[in-house]
Structure 1
């Protein structure tokens, strides 16, 4: 009997799962069918709207058909379009109203709306196109409602504006409210007030449709287009990891007008408030590949960097990476008053008109990259070069760690010494600058709490060892570099390797102690180790003296922790620095492993 009950339970469970699966499949089919008519918009935690638009019919006619009532499209598109639609849909003149139209060469285009009682519909529309005075296409989403609301509102628009502002976290922008009809999914038609609200802080802009008889929010139009870029995401290092298309990667706290606008200027190119990405001349930009700020330019690794598609890909990737660094560094303190790079500072202080100019495939060199950092108020200039160790050659703009390295020079040169660009000029300070740049590139590449060894420049050189002498590592076997190794070095890059490796170990200690956050780039309020690291990284820059040394740079990190975290990480930091010779009594490039006695 027990065995029978077990079998019966299994059968019932299988039937239940089958029923659930069947229901899920049915819902999936329904959801798929709704793709052409519905869209769920999550306005806020408390407001979710399922927006409806009547399904459109669409016809094309090849070389064209002649309109039986008026074979030729006269200059008056209004009357011609209305008569065609009336005959095609079998509606009377009072049901159709001309919206707009234009002529382009031998083609004409007209757009109309459905009407009732003299009031237009929001989402019941039609469009007609002619070529050589013959109709070549016709689309329509007119409806035959089962009920329609009265045309005289009983709720005033002014009485619901504050409700709309609260629901959409925005402000009414003063645009005159409208009165229109809205076709709904159940076949009814509602009379609605149209009210525009905006929130410039988060770059939102909606036209909201409120029932003119009940005051209920029924639907909305989102005016903000989704910008997308085919790029290497910031946490990917090299092209072989695969490009992705990212939608709206901008952080509107750091870039309140987005990446393509400043003041009254908007662009559809790799030109914006924070970054200008070009090749050869500052007017040689990449334009959107489709409307709505779509930059879809995949890189073809088998082709030369100089192909048109690859140039566009390089400019797009450089634009994306430098903007992304701008945005996350902003959240950690590299703001307008801290001498960052922006054309428009939005009245927040600092000197403006100094966005980063990044020259991809720069002709002035090969196998390198650099960043020039003038004082606040003058644009930083990043030059990215072609690397010639492979056939075909490889483009430095498609290796993110190189772009991050260069942009970090702008951050460290600006934040050290008060925006002068003059305070990382000694050999040791210059070496620290190279180390910070490698360390921030390292920071962007971590994908979990596992701290892996980091190699810089392996893609462009086609060399797993990259362009440094050793990987950055917590292993003293893999990387034995210590403070004392600075002695005798004159190359800032070799000196930088030592500082970057020390910071790699500091990072590892913080993550081991506090964990790791996947949202560190946009949420600096967390307590995880990678967040703590980046706070201390930037905080120390503004604390340290002009032309710092290893010892004073280390002291600035300890002080930064005291300032921000009340010294909670003091002993951890001392142990990490001391483990690589930069202990309490380190000086003159002589290792010291001492830490404070209370640690």
Structure 2
């Protein structure tokens, strides 16, 4: 250790001791005096240790994370966060296990730590374990073993207690195993007696982005010649980073579908990245001329082997990353430089933007060098963890992921290619090129490697539906030979249809969706060698009709992959997993988002939406996630069930919809749960913009969007480990108290209550997604004083809430009400304050107002009675 690092470590260690002296007594006193409030027994708080202590510059409070222990052994995820101000505990997110000692039957393992590695490898089918070697003994049954032939990283093994759903707590070995394919970074607890896996969670969050009938697929890995980047160091030069420039989809442009590339010069933020994006030593001048630096190392992984150093584009001594981009019919490798440059840019932007709101060194952010800034008070200092961002990763397809280990270890982002089949009809009435209508199947030959041109032929048999392709009975074999078979999707497995077509000499298969829209065909086969695609019902049925009318359709099928690194929203989403994992529970514990009602996907969707907002957007602008990777219009839903909008007739999600997010096998769709939370956060963003306006300065702006971004980051630090919706809601409310003296409490409650997360709502068991209690009520006067919400009658049980749509409108608007509003005056005013519509009546259900006589422009809708005052901007086109 060099002298500078030694002194830093020593200072941090002394600070940690000082912390213990200053705050230990305050925590003990609070826990002892609040056992009933915390729902704990006196014995439950006797033994704990501090794992993190973080001072937040934004809220001016100290977040302390304490780990529950029993006889020196930690209880997995029993990490409570306490917020202190002026040496007093002001907020607690409790995750301690109640009546712990009575639930523990054993404190001594019978299974050896090294044998636990073998047990995990067998149960997860990770391959043969070899070369198990103890590398380090950290004490108290805490070990580090070699990679043992099954892991990319050394395997840590620690003795813990694992709470189970039945209320019991079992002694367990906790192992960290980073699979060789890089897809999963397992955090596993195995019974310390039997070796059976009790629970596991994945540090590598795999965002399969599947919706409805889409099925996640992995195409065969295509091996390419490996080209390694040299570690390029450049001669130091004063202010060298001021010369850097990048040709990218500059924010707020979300993807190639949303706008064009442009040159950005020196886009780093001087506070978050004081030495630029290519520095690592904290002295003027860059260390690297490639897409590597203090925050991110973006590299190619087109062989899917997760090498430490892969190919990276070189900007030369001028750091000029201006590379050409031509995606039209081109293989992804031809534009890898442009792709990796964009991945490097967005990842660094995410680092720099969210640094302003509190994802900084002390809070466990991702940096190779903390530049001597205050580090989280864990020991040793926790830098050395810049993001490893793998572009065009060949270990997967139609996917992306982000693996977040604890502070001080490198996270890894994997950005994959997305299949996008192109159908070009060369003859007949449907002649033309069709993009956005087809997907390649997860099996069969790749169209990227094997484009096909041939005539179409209906695959008809003698069944009840002769175009299902499920039976050889009456099959027109001669008509299929040398042609592309056209089949409807229902009746039998996709692989059976395609196999039957192949057996009868078809050269490719088109499967037509039996429902509106398009879908992705799943399935596995080692015998299918021809390409197969699925097409939308609209295009497919038009083909069928043309063929039935006797037309000859010659079709060219090609596969041009879409590069996920060009979708800034997806890159931001993945990086966002790292933010939420490091902030909930503190940087020393990244397992707090492993319960069934966890909201990680929602926070990540929000991060992507927030940084791609544009000045012209409105609260009803439709925002999809991943519309580029689905070849959709920018107003599409993308990879979620609904687009994000405050218009509840378009996105109707409410809290009770969480129970409907099951996958049919007892597990939960984390994307489904997350998108409900993101809908609420997006409503909050627009509620705050309505109050404070929009500011396009994402770093230091003062608009409602900036204030919401701050609430979200500060709220993450306050969110309890293993939290559900209610805990996360309360954390945002607490953040507003700390940041803004609670001036936005009414607005925040309105937003959450509108979608059923009101005062009386209950998450139930946060490890269940089926036991929520929905409520639309506002808090009582004792909780939310009238001074903070003067315009509302806070003694009523339910806030009278309104949904106004469509907005923008043309000839009419509708007002949907949760409950009846008596004796209300509904009025519309133009921007000069002139009343252009007024009516007094009782409002119930859905009310329609004719606006065809109003000129195009912006108006204010107001609804008032003796207890309610409501207003909303409306736009008439």
TM-score, length-scaled by structure 1:
0.61
Q: Deviations over 1:398-421 (max 9, x none)?
A: 111100000000000001101121
Q: 1:224 to 1:289 in 2, by over 3 A?
A: closer
The CA distance in 2 between the partners of 1:314 and 1:469, in whole Å, is 28
Whole-angstrom CA distance in 2 between matches of 1:224 and 1:393: 34
Q: Kindly indicate whether the alpha-carbon contact (under 8 Å) linking 1:305 and 1:311 is maintained by their aligned counterparts in 2.
A: no
Say if 1:225 and 1:293, in contact at 8 Å, map to a contact too.
no
Cα distance in 2, alignment partners of residues 534 and 261 from structure 1? 28
Instruction: Work out whether 1:279 is the aligned partner of 2:456.
Output: no
Structure 2: distance between partners of 1:367 and 1:330: 30
Q: Secondary structure at the match of 2:606?
A: helix
The corresponding residue for 1:422 is 591
For residues 287 and 395 of structure 1, what CA distance do their matches in structure 2 show? 16
Partner residue of 1:243?
Answer: 261
SS of structure 2 residue aligned to 1:276 = strand
- Aligned partner of 2:147 in structure 1 is none
Counterpart of 1:316 in structure 2 is: 341
Unaligned runs of 5+ in 1: 1-203, 207-221
Instruction: Spell out, residue by residue over 1:426-472, the C-alpha distance to the aligned partner (whole angstroms, 9 max, x if none).
Output: 1111xx10001001111112112623221011111113331111101
1:342 deviates by 0.3
- 1:62-86 deviation line (CA, Å, top 9, x unaligned): xxxxxxxxxxxxxxxxxxxxxxxxx
Structure with higher Rg: it is 1
Please name the residue that 1:201 is paired with.
none
- Note the aligned Cα RMSD (angstroms): 1.8
Tell me how far apart the structure 2 counterparts of residues 516 and 584 of structure 1 sit (CA, whole Å). 28
Would you say the 8 A contact 1:276–1:282 is kept in 2? Answer: no
Q: Residue 571 of structure 2 aligns with which residue?
A: 403
In 2, the alpha carbon distance for the partners of 1:291 and 1:205 equals 10
Partner of 2:727: 552
Q: How many Å separate the matches in 1 of 2:354 and 2:327?
A: 31
The corresponding residue for 2:652 is 480
Partner residue, 1:444? 611
Paired residues, number: 375
Asked whether the equivalents of residues 278 and 359 of structure 1 are also in contact (C-alpha less than 8 Å), the reply is: yes
* Structure 1 residue 548: Cα displacement: 1.2
TM-score (norm 2): 0.42
Kindly indicate whether the alpha-carbon contact (under 8 Å) linking 2:597 and 2:723 is maintained by their aligned counterparts in 1: yes
Match of 1:117 in 2: none
Aligned to 2:290: 269
* 8 A Cα contact 1:551 1:582, kept in partner: yes
Aligned to 1:565: 740
Question: Does the aligned pair in 1 maintain the 2:289–2:316 contact within 8 Å?
Answer: no
**1:87-106 → structure 2 map (5 Å cutoff):** none
1:538 match: secondary structure? helix
1:453 corresponds to? 622
Matched, 1:228 2:245: yes
State whether residues 623 and 637 of structure 2, in contact with CA within 8 Å, keep that contact through their aligned partners in structure 1.
no
Deviant stretches of 4+, over 6 Å = none
Q: Find the aligned partners of 2:420 and 2:328 in 1 and give their Cα distance.
A: 15
Find the counterpart in structure 1 of residue 417 from structure 2.
Answer: 386
Rounded Cα–Cα distance in structure 2 between residues aligned with 1:340 and 1:225: 24
Aligned-partner Cα distance in 1 for 2:333–2:241: 32
1:518 positional shift: 1.4
- Partner of 1:501 in structure 2? 679
- Greater alpha carbon shift after TM alignment, 310-319 vs 257-266: 257-266
1:225: how far off? 4.0
3-state SS of the aligned residue for 2:269?
coil
1:305, distance to aligned residue in structure 2 (A)? 4.5
| Worse-superposed segment, 350-359 or 460-469 | 460-469
1:334 and 2:359 matched: yes
**Superposed displacement of residue 289, structure 1:** 4.1
Answer yes or no: is 1:296 the counterpart of 2:322.
Answer: yes
Q: Deviation at 1:234?
A: 2.4
Partner of 1:365: 396
Change (3 A) 1:256 1:305: farther
Counterpart secondary structure, 1:404: helix
- Conserved? CA contact 1:387–1:395, under 8 Å: yes
SS at structure 2 position matched to 1:270: coil
- Provide the rounded CA distance (Å) in 2 between the counterparts of 1:305 and 1:443: 32
Preserved CA contact (<8 Å) 1:243 1:298: no
Could you tell me how far 1:389 is from its partner in structure 2?
2.8
From the superposition, tell whether residues 417 and 305 of structure 1 become closer, same or farther in structure 2 (CA, over 3 Å): farther
CA contact (8 A) 1:305 1:394 kept: no
Q: Which structure shows the bigger proportion of residues in helix conformation?
A: 1
